[in-house]
Amino acid sequence: MESEEAILREIIIKIGGKGSEALVPILISKSNLDEFKLAEKAKMTINQLRNVLYKLHANDLVSFTRKKDKKKGWYIYFWTLNKPKALKYLLEHYGNERKQLENFIEVRQKKNYFICSNCHIELNEESALEQNFECVECGELLVLKDDRADIKKISKDLEELDKRITHLRGLVSKFELPQRKVKMKEKIKKFKKKGKFVQKAKSMKSVKKFKKYHERKAGKKKRR
Ligand SMILES: [Zn+2]
């Protein structure tokens, strides 16, 4: 399977367009990158760089902070790649692709398609019927299309895509798991600070015990 870098490259180029390739290794390796240094390293003009960064930013794939340069009086922007967001973005893209493939298979399994063996134009049954099963281009009689090979190919593509999706989910969870753990720890800390966590647990136990004890006693009395 592809490395994280290869995947991030795919996403950045998809959104940033041509010329954004040079940015990938730099953005991956560091955060808070001074945009002038970034442009220099990527061998881009500052305008080319900003063009790409704005596109990435519009999709929430990079974030920035800015600091005023005291000498020059203007702002300098520092950029950081948002890796989990970028991976999730691709995951979403794959999800849409998956739907299209599934849809193709479903439609082809349910419905008949007709084809002209000269022009290779494909038509669904309704359209073929409308033109009397004759090709509008060459007049040839349309024939029922055997979809089995297509379905097989698309099914294979779907399998490949699923593998990529699983791999990508693994990469995404690598970022999410530590975050979730940190959040959980913070929650427990808060509870412990207030003493709620321990108190609640203790009081629940003692209330249950108390209830059970009295229920047993009451039951014995009734039976007598
Ligand atoms: Zn034809």
Q: What is the dihedral of CA 186, 192, 193, 198, to 10 degrees?
A: 160
CATH 1.10.10.10, the chain: domain bounds: 4-81
Distance from Cα 148 to the centre of ligand 1, integer Å: 22
Q: Which residues are within 8 A (CB) of 194 and not within 5 positions of it... i.e. 6 or more apart?
A: none
Task: Give the pairing type, strands 113-115 and 62-68.
Answer: unpaired
**Structure tokens, 79:** 């950029």
Q: Residue 81 C-alpha to ligand 1 middle, in angstroms? A: 51
> What is the structure's pLDDT at 215?
79
Secondary structure letter of residue 140 according to DSSP: P
Looking at residue 138, the DSSP 8-state letter turns out to be T
- Measure 105 CA to ligand 1 centroid, in angstroms: 25
pTM of the model: 0.68
Fold of 4-81: Arc Repressor Mutant, subunit A (1.10.10)
| N- to C-terminal Cα separation, the chain | 74
CA of 117 to the centre of ligand 1 (A): 7
Integer Cα distance of 83 and 28 in angstroms: 8
Q: How far is the CA of 97 from the centre of ligand 1 (A)?
A: 30
Could you tell me the distance, in angstroms and rounded to a whole number, from the CA of residue 112 to the centre of ligand 1? 18
Give the pLDDT confidence score for residue 161 in this predicted structure. 96
How remote is the CA of residue 122 from the centroid of ligand 1, in Å? Answer: 10
Please give the distance, rounded to the nearest whole angstrom, from the Cα atom of residue 116 to the centre of ligand 1. 5
Q: What is the pLDDT along the chain (224 residues), one digit of tens a residue?
A: 788 889 999 899 989 987 788 898 999 999 999 999 999 999 999 999 999 999 999 999 999 999 998 888 889 999 999 999 999 999 999 999 999 999 999 999 999 999 999 999 999 999 999 999 999 999 999 999 999 999 999 999 999 999 999 999 998 888 887 777 778 888 888 877 776 655 556 666 666 777 777 778 777 655 55
Q: How far is the CA of 120 from the centre of ligand 1 (A)?
A: 7
What is the pLDDT at residue 31?
93
Torsion sign, CA atoms 83, 89, 90, 92: positive
* pLDDT score for 202: 61
pLDDT at 122: 95
